[in-house]
Amino acid sequence: MMKLTALLMPLAMLMLARSMGKSVPARFFDAQAFSVETSRRPAGLGIDRAPLLADAVKSGVLVPVGDGRYYVDRAVFLRRRRRFRSAVLASGVVLGIVVYGVLHHLANR
């Protein structure tokens, strides 16, 4: 039972993170801030946490304009979102296989 709990914990963490709302880069993406001309200020998008903003800039998802505005690098954002979704899908498949194996083993005792 402990092994099953250990496998379910990462999935629960992902679900919790998903329920917390949109990420900082996702808010800029939804606002269509894709260039210097369409860049936005974080306060205008309801973002008040500087560390989250700094992390997005450091990872290359957000690009600072220099006057307090930022825009999202669309290619980087979409690539990271695709990777995240692929990881979630792969985790779900692995979890399904493990659960099937455990149930199959218990049924054939």
**Residue-level pLDDT at 99:** 85
Query: Which is higher by pLDDT, 103 or 82?
Result: 82
**Residue-level pLDDT at 25:** 92
What tens digit of pLDDT does each residue of 2-45 get? 666 776 777 777 777 666 667 889 999 999 999 999 999 998 98
Quick one: CA torsion of 50, 55, 61, 66, rounded to 10 degrees? 50
What tens digit of pLDDT does each residue of 33-69 get? 999 999 999 989 888 878 888 888 999 999 999 899 9
How is the chain split into domains, by residue range? 2-107
Distance CA 89, CA 73 (A): 24
- Cβ count within 10 A of residue 7: 15
